[in-house]
Structure 1
């Protein structure tokens, strides 16, 4: 897989039986399908404290929250340019960051409506990470047709993403980061760290949004507010939202270092 990712000509649009395949779109749908099947598999293996009806309500809340905010945040990536586009274009324009945070807000709203007190995120964590990995492979194969490419660079990781320039392959950076995060979370699940329910999902959100905040500095963004892109502003909002978890993590690490 690594060999195929690195040496394929971008954008990768193979022709099968005379039809040019949109690999980005195919892998995007595949990400949803595999992610959901993996969630179903994990739920069958685990003891879910949330009832099936409440879990369904939470999933519906996540879907609607993700649909709304993913498009809203994508619009604010460059609102001046998007205003000039038609409604259908803007409805199709979306970002995973808005989807994740919108899904989070949708879940919290749904839980309040159904009076569900238990944390629901941990069961979704690994399926979400797996889905993003698959989706980002599709983004990479799309080359410069998908706005997940980086600025020009002379760094050794620079690649020709389809325009003849050496650019940061941001989608691949995310694939590598999320693969390691997936492995780490799997190992954490097998250790006795006395984690609270929901901590694994919070760990994913904090680390991934921190990564994306940093990555935005090497993307060729054209619209900024207060010197930051809309994605970076959303990342900061997310980190503020999880500030108690972050402070608890810092305190835990300090105690461990003190014992050493």
Structure 2
């Protein structure tokens, strides 16, 4: 299969368009869920702080993890400051958004869990965003390594590669569906569904990034994103395990 071929400029603008579509889709789905649940609007003081914390944290984490993934570009960024704002990382956005939300909750005194309502927006946003990644092809850097599998995609260089963008879309859709089907049981522990979503996505990226080109080897063939996923899982899984045991005990 051959992907649509775009010029570098067309790929950049296409990717940007789908980034904004992903963000807009996620925000609207979050608002829809709150209205459906009869909860205060996003502009209420506490809710607004959580949303702002999520957006700011995601923006910072997005860039930070990209530069962890691509440290060999630091020298070029020193010569052209515009490069500092380039690059995206879903893993960085997720982790940064999580940290931003927790900081906002501490500052505003919110103790309830707020994560479960982010799952649907994250699934939809990831799917929309990955469409842009797929269309951008070789200009995006999210494609996989060469493969002989029948669904390999030629992104314009004559080499069939793993369409890892499509793999990502399929994974979040499957996880989202499983969590939706288990929502009654998971509702007994607010926030557990989000913890399961985040930990499963981190584990997935640790696995699937093994079939992507390695931009910088941190050792043992691990990329920067894989290293971040490992550290995040080590810190996050104990809390997930405790919550799962609590649900099983009730």
Matching residue of 1:137: 131
Q: Which has the higher contact order (CA 8 A, sep 6+)?
A: 2
**2:188 aligns to what SS in structure 1?**
coil
* Higher-helix-fraction structure: 2
Matching residue of 1:218: 211
> What TM-score comes out, normalization by structure 2 length?
0.88
* Structure 2 spans left out of the alignment, 5+ residues: none
* Contact 2:133/2:140 (<8 A) preserved: yes
The question of 1:44 aligning with 2:35 is answered yes
Matching residue of 1:31: 22
Q: Judging changes above 3 Å, is the alpha-carbon distance between structure 1 residues 252 and 198 closer, same or farther for their aligned structure 2 residues?
A: closer
Q: 1:116 aligns with which of 82, 98, 110?
A: 110
* Contact 1:70/1:97 (<8 A) preserved: yes
How many residue pairs match? The answer is 245
Q: Judging changes above 3 Å, is the alpha-carbon distance between structure 1 residues 195 and 230 closer, same or farther for their aligned structure 2 residues?
A: farther
> What TM-score comes out, normalization by structure 1 length?
0.85
Structure-2 separation of matches of 1:77 and 1:21? 19
Which of 83-92 and 136-145 deviates more?
83-92
Using the TM superposition, give the Cα deviation of residue 102 of structure 1 relative to its aligned residue in structure 2, in angstroms. 0.6
Q: 2:191 aligns with which of 177, 185, 198?
A: 198
Matching residue of 1:207: 200
Which of 93-102 and 79-88 deviates more?
79-88
Matching residue of 1:79: 71
* Contact 2:189/2:247 (<8 A) preserved: no
Matching residue of 2:54: 62
**2:182 aligns to what SS in structure 1?**
helix
Which of 85-94 and 116-125 deviates more?
85-94
